[in-house]
Structure 1
Amino acid sequence: MQELYFRELGEGQPLIILHGLLGTSDNWLTLGKKYAEHYKVYILDQRNHGQSFHDDEFSYPALAKDLLNFMNSQNIEKAHILGHSMGGKVAMTFAIEHPGRVDKLIIADIGPQTYPPHHTVIFKGLFSLDLANLSSRNEADEKLAEYIPEIGVRQFLLKNLARNNDSFEWKVNLEVIAKEIDKIGLGLSHNAVYENSTLFIRGGKSDYIKDSDFNLIHSTFKNSKIETIGGAGHWLHAEKPDLFLKISLDYLQNG
């Protein structure tokens, strides 16, 4: 059994944080320190990401099993779980499979439905980089800008680039993730039901959770509520961290 890389902060009741696609535990470190004032926080690198192991299998059942193995290895019987985007779908899958291991569940800007493939341009941009002949991060950013105009998205993606002696390499397992990306768009099974407390937080400018998705969310997650952060997009925790922290802490502490 291969173990996930993780960061551990604070003391108290366990709170596990799961990053999104092409993210890492680093993305959550600033907020993680805030949560650590109240909880024992574990921020994971999921398989094929960050400093965790690479594997040809990349699916929600596999990612949820990694989480179960992690909790067992750390002797965590029950934890609050917070997941963003892909990490949110992992958290949903895990909660439905192992409801007794989850205290409160927070899902950031993703619903239980299937999403059509929409990362094509991002992968084209990433695969266009000739890592062996890349001279600097600035050069990588300039080349990536031909595909991805948003500087914030490029900065996020380029955190996956690591220098290896005189050249660069991807920390993320790009080949496998690109090959299996359709699996990451898949929704939960139609008969999936979760009875325990769940909070969905969506970005007001994001289209990942539309008003028309509310019925599916409430019929799958029977004891759920949905909060909206106005003016935030898909990376709502990075765009409006103070408000995200306030909403999530209020839920964790007061329900």
Structure 2
Amino acid sequence: MLAYDSYGEETAGAPILIVHGLFGSGRNWGVIAKRLSKSRRVVSVDMRNHGDSPRADSQSYHDMADDLAQVIESLGGEALVVGHSMGGKASMVLALTRPELVRALIVADIAPVAYEHTQAHLVDAMQELDPAAFDKRSDADAALARKVETKGVRDFLLQSLDLKEKRWKLNLDVLGSEMDKILSFPDLSASYDGPTLFLAGAESDYVLPEHRDRIKALFPNAKQAKIPGAGHWLHAEKPREFEAAVRAFFTL
């Protein structure tokens, strides 16, 4: 089963399940998870081929949704689900294929469509680094800067560099080979009628007006909202506003 961090006390209500995006981990969401756990138990998973979760040969959305279903079943059979980017797509597939497990859904800055936002260049950049060569994160950052200009992106990627174990906590080979699947979205005819919020960053180009028809076809009760001043990593850029939106939608 997927590795996860649990925050807060077990209560009678359904827990919140947080599902991170590509190259992320459950611990990236630690601050938001701790704050939300004052109202309800929160579980933040490491997706397959990320963090401390098992390695696998596939990164398909059906497989990722099955992983999430297993976690929710172990937690009691129902959850309030928050998924970002790749995790948002996996959460959508979960809701569409196993709706009984999802009491309500928040999809953060992603739509149920195929994208051309490939991250293959970041896989290549990380693969060029030898984790055994670094004792300090600053040295790894300097080396990664030759391929990745944006400091914020490097900081995010390097959270998955385990300096103690001298390894990436990402299965880079599989993430690279499965990139086309990660960019895609399964052709599903089902719909999820539960409460759904598509929460986007106002400065992001991931959720566009032309996606609305597809969103409504799959999620007929979906609402849409934007966080001003936020881009694709809206939960990291505007954590208080993101938390407030989650609390309001889940009525915590």
Once residues 83 and 135 of structure 2 are traced to their aligned partners in structure 1, the CA distance between those partners, rounded to angstroms, is 35
SS at match of 1:81: strand
Once residues 137 and 8 of structure 2 are traced to their aligned partners in structure 1, the CA distance between those partners, rounded to angstroms, is 33
TM-score (norm 2): 0.94
Q: Which residue is 1:107 aligned to?
A: 107
Q: Which residue is 2:161 aligned to?
A: 161
Once residues 228 and 37 of structure 2 are traced to their aligned partners in structure 1, the CA distance between those partners, rounded to angstroms, is 26
Once residues 38 and 123 of structure 1 are traced to their aligned partners in structure 2, the CA distance between those partners, rounded to angstroms, is 37
Once residues 156 and 117 of structure 1 are traced to their aligned partners in structure 2, the CA distance between those partners, rounded to angstroms, is 17
Unaligned 5+ runs, structure 1: none
Q: Which residue is 2:246 aligned to?
A: 248
Q: How does 1:143-162 map to 2 (within 5 A)?
A: 143-162=143-162
CA distances 1:88-120 after superposition (whole Å, capped 9, x unpaired): 011000000111111110000000001125213
Q: Which residue is 1:214 aligned to?
A: 212
- Asked if the contact 1:117–1:181 (Cα under 8 Å) also holds between the matched residues in 2, the reply is no
Once residues 22 and 142 of structure 2 are traced to their aligned partners in structure 1, the CA distance between those partners, rounded to angstroms, is 22
- Asked if the contact 2:78–2:100 (Cα under 8 Å) also holds between the matched residues in 1, the reply is yes
**Residue identity opposite 1:20 in structure 2:** G
- Asked if the contact 1:162–1:169 (Cα under 8 Å) also holds between the matched residues in 2, the reply is yes
Once residues 139 and 236 of structure 2 are traced to their aligned partners in structure 1, the CA distance between those partners, rounded to angstroms, is 25
SS at match of 2:247: helix
Pairing 1:80–2:74 present: no
SS at match of 1:195: coil
1:39 to partner: Cα distance: 0.9
Q: Which residue is 1:43 aligned to?
A: 44
- Asked if the contact 1:117–1:182 (Cα under 8 Å) also holds between the matched residues in 2, the reply is no
SS at match of 2:226: strand
Q: Matched residue pairs, number? A: 249
Q: Which residue is 1:186 aligned to?
A: 184
SS at match of 2:204: coil
Q: Which residue is 1:26 aligned to?
A: 27
**Residue identity opposite 1:127 in structure 2:** Q
Q: Which residue is 1:230 aligned to?
A: 228
- Asked if the contact 1:82–1:88 (Cα under 8 Å) also holds between the matched residues in 2, the reply is yes
Deviates more, 1:236-245 or 1:135-144: 135-144
Once residues 117 and 203 of structure 1 are traced to their aligned partners in structure 2, the CA distance between those partners, rounded to angstroms, is 16
RMSD: 1.5
Q: Which residue is 2:199 aligned to?
A: 201
**Residue identity opposite 1:125 in structure 2:** A
- Asked if the contact 1:15–1:79 (Cα under 8 Å) also holds between the matched residues in 2, the reply is yes
Deviates more, 1:43-52 or 1:124-133: 124-133
